Amino acid sequence: MKKNKKNDIRVRFAPSPTGYFHIGSARVALFNFLFAKKNKGTFVLRIEDTDKERSKKEYEKDIMRSLEWLGISWDEGATPKGERGEFGPYRQSERGEIYKKYLRKLLEERKAYYCFCSKEELDKMREKQKKKKEPPRYEGNCFLLSESEKEKMKKERKDFTIRLHIPDNKKIEFNDRIRGKVEFNTKDIGGDFVIAKKDLSPLYNFACVVDDHEMNATHVIRGEDHVSNTPKQILIQEALGFSIPEFAHLPLILGTDKSKLSKRHGTVSLYGYKEKGYLPEALVNFIALLGWNPGNDEELFVMEEIINKFSLEDCQKSGAIFDMGKLNYINGYYIRKRDVSDITKMCIPHLVEADLIRVEFTEEQYPPAYGGKEPKESYYAHHREKKMSFNEVKDIVSLYQERMRTLAEIGELANYFFVKEPVYEKELLIWKNTPAEDITTYLDKSIKTLSDIKEWSREEIEKRMVETANKAQNRGVVLWPMRVALSGKKASAGPFDIAYVLGKEETLRRLKNAKIKLQQ
């Protein structure tokens, strides 16, 4: 019926926009994407917004921008504009007619029926079962209602639902691509279950099954929290005469307390990691490693490599704890690997956030279409009342590229470049137990050496300063106070680098200030 080539793999990622897109969903999305790409299949994005009360457009946008940031693109599916595809709209809220069609079919075939039990009656029933230590189960007999009774009830009762009639004691089994054979018995499912509300609006399991069929999903890859939905979905598929897709249930990502990762475990919002200074390739690499590995010792790879190596069979069955330590390590690795210009661009928002610079735009006289240039960003270190070019910021960032674990650290690490005066205690200038007078002397020597430099280059500074330092009892006694004078920190980039980036004038000014400070 559908124009779908045989053996064409189609997967779907079907999040519900009821909260910010989080790590767990990102992992499910990623694995679907990897599986699709690896098998040259199609990756479909469907928005499951049947819960009108909890679904919000804002969350839907968050899903899309997060996927985009990670580099997970979808071949088909919902877009911000909401175009329809070959299979109709990709938002469940817009697919009502499709569900109704299948619902009526089930009703006509008496595979589903109206249930007029009120909420109170059902609660009572469950209460009773709980007391008898029986599992909760629908034991109503609305299925037995005759046509006339049904019509009567429809008028009398305001509330009703539609339930699927399921066999009593039947084994349901499916072969999970990750966990192997999984078995259920219909007697454990809890009786006939609700598939739609009074207005014929479908519940999750029903909508999901209909859409998977309509959209020709060949594989359903989702979180382990859905295994218990699977037998219900298979029952619906059987009732509707649909073919059963292959299932693969991914283990859950756990918090440090080993329970399902949730808000109470800290940042779970995926986009929050961007804001905290993580790189998308780091997140992708890290999340992929949570529950999957290529079967050997390699573990640092980018999307393309992961796609090549990926297979569902190499996925873990047990849940994995989200370990920030390793994420930080991987993030640091990718920060070091990237081009400094890229890193600088990404650091700029963090420098702004840390109140160290402001971004200004140099307005071009004409817009590009009329021959003008693109408006360019320029930077203003307001504490120093100093304009900075991109390259100046880049020089600063380059000093910390191999010291950062997250981009957000740049502010704390490099703040002394952007402030008038580095803040520190004068005791910090003292190298080991050297007397303060000696430090002053060495500071003087450094000032003298640097003043004599005509061509302010990185090489020249190092050459001359090393000469000076070698004349002292040890290099530390010269270089430590210099570094502290310039940075105000006990740990920082090297003194020659800092001096070079700071410029001759500012370097000498800070050294002189340190001397004065020491004498106070």
Spatial contact of 67 and 74, defined as CB atoms under 8 Å apart: yes
Give the separation between CA 197 and CA 206, rounded to whole angstroms.
11
Give the separation between CA 38 and CA 315, rounded to whole angstroms.
15
Output 69 or 322, the one with its CB closest to RNA: 322
Sign for the CA dihedral angle at 320, 322, 325, 330 comes to positive
User: CB of 364: closest distance to RNA in angstroms?
Assistant: 39
- DSSP conformation class of 296: S
Please count the CA atoms within 13 angstroms of the CA of 18 that sit on its side-chain side. 10
User: CB of 158: closest distance to RNA in angstroms?
Assistant: 9
Q: Which two tokens stand for residue 59?
A: 């969350």
User: CB of 367: closest distance to RNA in angstroms?
Assistant: 43
For residue 377, give the 3-state DSSP assignment.
Answer: strand
Spatial contact of 429 and 517, defined as CB atoms under 8 Å apart: yes
User: CB of 34: closest distance to RNA in angstroms?
Assistant: 15
Strand ranges in 81-152 using DSSP code E only, listed in sequence order: 112-115
User: CB of 18: closest distance to RNA in angstroms?
Assistant: 7
Residue 263 annotated to the active site = yes
What is the pairing mode between strands 76-77 and 112-115? Answer: unpaired
Spatial contact of 356 and 392, defined as CB atoms under 8 Å apart: no
Output 14 or 351, the one with its CB closest to RNA: 14
Give the separation between CA 514 and CA 157, rounded to whole angstroms.
86
User: CB of 190: closest distance to RNA in angstroms?
Assistant: 4
Output 21 or 496, the one with its CB closest to RNA: 496
- Element of type H or E holding 446: helix 436-451
Give the separation between CA 176 and CA 247, rounded to whole angstroms.
5
Spatial contact of 8 and 46, defined as CB atoms under 8 Å apart: no
Output 48 or 60, the one with its CB closest to RNA: 48
User: CB of 362: closest distance to RNA in angstroms?
Assistant: 34
Token pair 């300063």 in the structure block, residue: 465
Output 299 or 355, the one with its CB closest to RNA: 299
Output 379 or 415, the one with its CB closest to RNA: 415
The CA angle 474-462-447, to the nearest 5 degrees, is 75
User: CB of 182: closest distance to RNA in angstroms?
Assistant: 5
User: CB of 321: closest distance to RNA in angstroms?
Assistant: 4
What are the DSSP calls for 393-423, one per residue?
HHHHHHHHTTT-SSGGGHHHHHGGGTSSS--
What is the pairing mode between strands 161-164 and 112-115? Answer: antiparallel
What SS3 string covers 140-183? Answer: CCHHHCCHHHHHHHHHHCCCCEEEECCCCCCEEEEEECCCEEEE
Catalytic residue among 56, 263, 376, 471: 263
Question: Which residue type, as a one-letter code, is found at position 40?
Answer: K
Sign for the CA dihedral angle at 236, 239, 241, 246 comes to positive
Question: Which residue type, as a one-letter code, is found at position 169?
Answer: N
- DSSP conformation class of 91: B
So which residues are the catalytic ones?
A: 263
